[in-house]
């Protein structure tokens, strides 16, 4: 029987072109053999005969269509393929019924691995997708296929009917993925009917693919609320195996089309529509985060959210927008998303939630990217300001960066003062880093505004900018003290350190940036600030800075006064600094060791006396006799202070330089004034004093030893 059937098919094919009644006799003979093969399959319970029946049925339909339509140019190759899809899927429903009702219930039937209806379903789904893809590509390049619409829809409908019927076959796998592909083909066939060019097809494709991915992800998420028959594959993990990569692919294509639209589509509303559709892809991926890949999918969804936000931000700019504006918008998006992930995950999600964990893992990378973008943006702004004299950035992007920086400042402060909002769960000491970050963002905001809106920094600000910096420093110190008294040390310490650091910047850049403020005035105000800090914190370091600033102000005044240079009157330069150092040592003596205090006393007193002595010898006693009295007064003051405060260094050095003062006076009187008798009188008086001193020591040895022992108990 098989041989007779093969002979009939062979003869039918041989006379198919010469038969005057073609194609009816040839197609009818092959169709009869097809039905005969199906009957044999049922009679002998041999399901492999169904393959012959299905193949012969397609061959008969092909002969009929080729002769009746395609041969005379009334149809296209695409129509021929669609007709074969219909011929393949329509009887496949009958083959499916035979498989389920005749072959499988009978235990004597030898089951085959792949029933014909499964092959037909796979082949028809593939052919439909291939035709739709080719049709869309042809439309994109401007050469549409011009297929017959009702035949194409009939092929798709017959394929869908077969796939729905295959849901009844419990042994058949891959039905749901095939329905997924057929759904994409349906959307593609709908779009293909309009014969859109690439510039119209790509944006519409981004919207459709985004909507389809979101719809299928939502169907997967809410599957337990739907009728069980709607989803053949009831295993969540099995569905996720193919649905996750499929929807991730759709998300990637949508994002790529979104980027393309930002740089190629001129219509603002169309760009916004595409970007809004792309914004749904993070939700689409997030709905799939229910399998054993959840942590990676959550991270993927969060990353896609950043990318989609960047696409949406760029969609507001025309395609020919400058790279500077693109970078500014990207930086704004990164800052905003970093703030949202940092504050939002800590506020609305528990620490163990996988979304919170994923956001926390992404924070370091996002923060690094945001800082890199911000530095790149500011670097370009500085470069353009130097090279062009202005910054080529739109007001919209300028405001966007400003608002993003303001948001970053607010988020950093919130995370610092509210432990529950800290995504990194830092200690109280560690959360001060957020305050420093807020201060850095504030400085970047001022720099950004200075570069993009220089007119804000003219007039009073430009002329008196050092005073503005000092005012900010005083405000920071005042706020630091306020927060310290309220026991909010997280804010108090950074504000204090910043307030102490700010005056150093104008001090170093005073001559580089012009202002109407005298340098000595600025240093005096800085000295007052550091003096306040030294008193409030009892800090030796701040006291030293106050001394340096105050003396710097004095040195600046002396340098501009005629006749008061350092090599002319060194004591005016050095004595105030030494006195300030002595006062700072006294105020902080509890924090210093005895040796440190002694070293400070001797160093400062030596500097005072030597500078005054050098001043006296540089200018000469004859020209400036008052300098001798200054040294004498300082020496007497040192001796008196040593006696009053019981400090040996004051007493010893004061006495030594008082003797030097007396010797200088005697020498001046005898040499410069030619009163030589003073030398003889002084020598005789010195000799008598030495003799009396030794006599007193011999007579009152005990009292002298007691005085010496008492001196040893004094401070160094």
pLDDT at 75 over 60: no
Last residue of a domain, one of 560, 593, 608: 560
Give me the pLDDT at residue 230, please.
46
Beta bridge partners of 608: none
Q: Give the angle 623-627-633 at the CA atoms, nearest 5°.
A: 155
- How high is the pLDDT of residue 145? 76
Q: What tens digit of pLDDT does each residue of 340-394 get?
A: 887 766 566 666 677 777 888 888 888 888 888 888 888 888 888 877 777 888 8
**pLDDT of the residue at 468:** 79
Residue 667 lies in a domain: yes
Both 587 and 542 in one domain: the answer is no
| DSSP code per residue over 263-306 | HH---HHHHHHHHHHHTTHHHHHHHTTTSTTHHHHHHHHHHHHH
**677 has pLDDT over 60:** no
| Statement to judge: residues 556 and 606 lie in one domain | no
Residue 699: inside a domain, yes or no? yes
- Work out the pLDDT band at 231, boundaries 50, 70, 90: very low
Q: Residue 154: how many CA atoms within 13 Å on its side-chain side?
A: 17
- Does 89 map to a domain? no
For the residues 24-42, what does the mean pLDDT come to? 64
Higher-confidence residue of 673 and 548: namely 548
Q: Indicate if the pLDDT at residue 193 is higher than 60.
A: yes
538 with 625, same domain? no
Q: Is residue 694 assigned to a domain?
A: yes
Q: What is the pLDDT of residue 40?
A: 62
Say whether both 547 and 582 belong to one domain: no
CA 114 to chain centre: 53
**What DSSP state is assigned to residue 13?**
H
The confidence band for 310, taking pLDDT boundaries of 50, 70 and 90, is very high
Mean pLDDT of 187-197: 84
Among residues 286, 280, 312, 279, the alpha carbon closest in space to that of 300 is found at 286
Q: pLDDT confidence of 525, banded at 50, 70, 90?
A: confident
Q: Residue 269: CB partners within 8 Å, gap ≥ 6?
A: none
Single out the residue in 560, 591, 616 at which a domain terminates: 560
429 vs 120, residue with greater confidence: 120
Within a domain: residue 539? yes
621 phi/psi in degrees, rounded to 5: -70, -35
Taking the C-alpha atoms of residue 32 and residue 8, their distance in angstroms, rounded to an integer, is: 10
Section 126-134 average pLDDT? 89
Please name which of 587, 592, 598, 632 lies closest in space to residue 613, comparing C-alpha atoms.
632
DSSP 622: T
On the question of pLDDT at 480 being above 70, the answer is: yes
Report for 198-202, 313-317, 321-325: range of highest mean pLDDT: 313-317
Q: Are 335 and 368 in contact (CB under 8 A)?
A: no
Residues 495 and 594 in one domain: no
Q: State pLDDT tens for residues 596-634.
A: 777 887 888 888 888 888 877 777 666 777 777 787 788
Asked if pLDDT for residue 517 goes beyond 80, the answer is: no
Q: Which residue has the higher pLDDT, 502 or 280?
A: 280
Q: Would you give the end-to-end CA distance of the chain in angstroms?
A: 129
DSSP codes, 200-256: HHHHHHHHHHHHHHHHHHHHHHTGGGS-GGG-S---HHHHHHHHHHHHHHHHHHHHH
Quick one: pLDDT at residue 9?
57
Tell me, yes or no, whether 3 lies in a domain.
Answer: no
Q: Within this chain, do residues 584 and 489 fall inside the same structural domain, yes or no?
A: no
**556, 582: one domain:** no
And the tokens for 226?
């739907």
47, 112 Cβ separation under 8 angstroms: yes
**612 and 714: one domain?**
yes
Q: Are residues 586 and 551 in the same domain?
A: no
- Distances in Å between the Cα of 157 and the Cα atoms of 128, 218, 459, 554 are 10, 24, 76, 95
- Evaluate whether 339 touches 408 at the Cβ level (below 8 Å): yes
Residue 151 pLDDT: 85
**How far is the C-alpha of 251 from the C-alpha of 304, rounded, in Å?**
9
- How many Å is the Cα radius of gyration of the chain? 48
Question: Domain range spanning residue 550?
Answer: 458-560
Q: Which residue has the higher pLDDT, 548 or 692?
A: 548
Domain membership flag for residue 648: yes
Label residue 291 by pLDDT band (50, 70, 90): very low
Q: Rounded distance, CA 259 to CA 274, Å?
A: 9
683-713 pLDDT per residue, tens: 555 455 555 554 555 555 555 555 555 555 5
Report residue 623 as tokens.
Answer: 């020209």
> How many distinct structural domains can be found in the chain?
2
The alpha carbon of 384 is separated from its chain's Cα centroid by a whole number of angstroms, namely 24
Q: Which residues are CB-contacts of 284 (< 8 A; sequence separation ≥ 6)?
A: 210, 213, 214, 217, 247, 250, 251
Q: What is the rounded distance in angstroms from the CA atom of residue 244 to the CA atom of residue 267?
A: 33
Helix 648-667 and helix 626-645, axial crossing angle in degrees, nearest 10: 160
Peptide bond into 714 cis (omega under 30): no
CA torsion angle 463 469 470 471 (round to 10): 90
CB distance 494 to 510 below 8 Å: no
Q: What confidence tier does 227 reach under pLDDT thresholds 50, 70, 90?
A: very low
Distance in angstroms (rounded) separating the CA atoms of residues 536 and 116: 91
State the sign of the Cα–Cα–Cα–Cα dihedral 625, 631, 634, 635: negative
Q: Any idea which residue has 């309009």 for tokens?
A: 194
- The pLDDT value given to residue 233: 45
Q: What is the mean pLDDT of the chain?
A: 75
Q: What is the dihedral of CA 695, 697, 698, 704, to 10 degrees?
A: 150
Report if residue 690 sits inside a domain. Answer: yes
pLDDT bin (cut points 50, 70, 90) of residue 89 is confident
The residues with which 715 forms a beta bridge, in sequence order, are: 647
In this structure, are 544 and 646 located in the same domain? no
Look at 225-229, 326-330, 539-543, 644-648 and tell me which has the smallest mean pLDDT.
225-229
212-216, 488-492, 499-503, 648-652: least confident range = 648-652
Q: At which residue do the structure tokens 């002396």 appear?
A: 558
Helix (H, G, I), strand (E, B) or coil at 115: coil
Task: Compare 397 and 508 and report the one with higher pLDDT.
Answer: 397
Higher pLDDT, 315 or 488: 315
Shared-domain flag, residues 534 and 606: no
Residues 490, 614, single domain; the answer is no
Q: What is the pTM of this model?
A: 0.67
Q: What pLDDT does residue 24 have?
A: 59
Query: Where is the domain boundary, 531, 560, 589?
Result: 560
Using a pLDDT cut of 70, give the percent of the chain over it: 73
Q: Dihedral (C-alpha) 167, 168, 173, 175: value to the nearest 10 degrees?
A: -10
């Amino acid at each position: 029987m098989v041989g007779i059937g093969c002979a009939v098919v062979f003869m039918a094919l041989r006379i198919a072109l010469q038969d005057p009644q073609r194609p009816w006799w040839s197609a009818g003979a092959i169709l009869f053999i097809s039905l005969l093969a199906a009957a044999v399959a049922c009679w002998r319970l041999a399901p492999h005969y169904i393959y012959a029946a299905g193949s012969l049925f397609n061959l008969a339909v092909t002969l009929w269509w080729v002769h009746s339509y395609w041969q005379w140019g009334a149809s296209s190759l695409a129509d021929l393929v669609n007709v074969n899809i219909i011929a393949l899927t329509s009887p496949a429903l009958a083959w499916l019924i035979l498989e389920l009702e005749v072959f499988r219930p009978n235990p004597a039937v030898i089951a085959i691995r792949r029933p014909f209806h499964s092959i037909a379903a796979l082949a028809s789904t593939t052919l439909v997708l291939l035709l739709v893809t080719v049709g869309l590509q042809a439309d994109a390049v401007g050469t549409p296929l011009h297929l017959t619409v009702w035949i194409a829809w009939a092929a798709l409908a017959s394929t869908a009917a077969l796939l729905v019927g295959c849901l009844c076959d419990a042994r058949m796998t891959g039905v749901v993925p095939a329905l997924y592909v057929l759904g994409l083909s349906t959307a593609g066939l709908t779009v293909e009917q309009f014969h859109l060019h690439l510039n119209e097809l790509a944006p519409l494709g981004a919207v459709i693919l985004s909507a389809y991915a979101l719809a299928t992800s939502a169907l997967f998420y809410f599957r337990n609320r739907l009728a069980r028959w709607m989803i053949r594959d009831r295993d969540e993990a099995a569905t996720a195996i193919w649905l996750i990569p499929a929807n991730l692919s759709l998300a990637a294509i949508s994002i790529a089309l979104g980027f393309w639209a930002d740089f190629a589509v001129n219509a603002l509303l169309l760009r916004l529509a595409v970007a809004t559709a792309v914004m749904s892809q993070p939700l689409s991926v997030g709905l799939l985060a229910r399998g054993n890949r959840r942590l990676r999918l959550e991270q993927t969804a969060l990353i896609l959210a950043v990318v989609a936000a960047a696409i949406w931000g760029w969609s507001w700019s025309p395609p020919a927008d400058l790279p500077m504006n693109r970078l500014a918008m990207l930086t704004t998006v990164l800052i905003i998303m970093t703030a949202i992930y940092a504050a939002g995950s800590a506020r609305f999600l528990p620490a163990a939630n996988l979304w919170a964990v994923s956001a926390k893992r992404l924070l370091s990378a996002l923060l690094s990217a945001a800082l890199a973008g911000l530095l790149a943006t500011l670097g370009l702004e500085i470069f353009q300001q130097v090279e062009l004299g202005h910054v080529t950035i739109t007001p919209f992007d300028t405001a966007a960066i400003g608002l993003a920086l303001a948001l970053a400042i607010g988020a950093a402060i919130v995370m610092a003062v509210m432990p529950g909002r800290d995504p990194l769960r830092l200690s109280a000491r560690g959360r001060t880093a957020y305050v420093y970050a807020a201060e850095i963002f504030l400085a970047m905001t001022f720099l950004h505004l200075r570069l993009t809106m220089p007119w804000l920094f003219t007039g009073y600000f430009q002329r008196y900018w050092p005073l503005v910096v000092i005012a900010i420093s005083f405000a920071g110190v005042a706020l630091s003290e306020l927060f310290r008294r309220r026991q909010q040390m997280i804010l108090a310490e950074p504000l204090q350190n910043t307030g102490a650091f700010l005056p150093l910047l104008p001090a170093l850049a005073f001559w580089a940036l012009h202002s109407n403020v005298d340098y000595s005035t600025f240093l005096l105000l800085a000295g007052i600030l550091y003096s306040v800090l030294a008193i409030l914190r009892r800090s030796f370091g701040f006291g030293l800075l106050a001394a340096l600033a105050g003396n710097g102000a004095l040195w600046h005044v002396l340098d501009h006064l005629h006749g008061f240079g350092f090599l002319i009157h060194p004591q005016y330069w050095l004595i105030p600094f030494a006195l300030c150092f002595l006062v700072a040592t006294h105020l902080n003596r509890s924090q210093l060791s005895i040796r440190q205090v002694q070293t400070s006393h001797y160093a400062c007193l030596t500097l005072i006396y030597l500078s005054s002595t050098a001043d006296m010898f540089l200018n000469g006693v004859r020209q400036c006799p008052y300098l001798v009295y200054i040294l004498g007064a300082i020496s007497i003051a040192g001796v008196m202070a040593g006696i009053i405060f019981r400090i040996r260094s004051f007493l010893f050095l004061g006495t030594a330089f008082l003797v030097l003062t007396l010797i200088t006076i005697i020498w001046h009187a005898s040499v410069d004034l030619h009163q030589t008798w003073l030398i003889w009188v002084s020598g005789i008086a010195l000799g008598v004093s030495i003799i009396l001193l030794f006599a007193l020591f011999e007579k009152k040895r005990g009292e002298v030893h007691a005085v010496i022992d008492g001196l040893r108990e004094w401070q160094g």
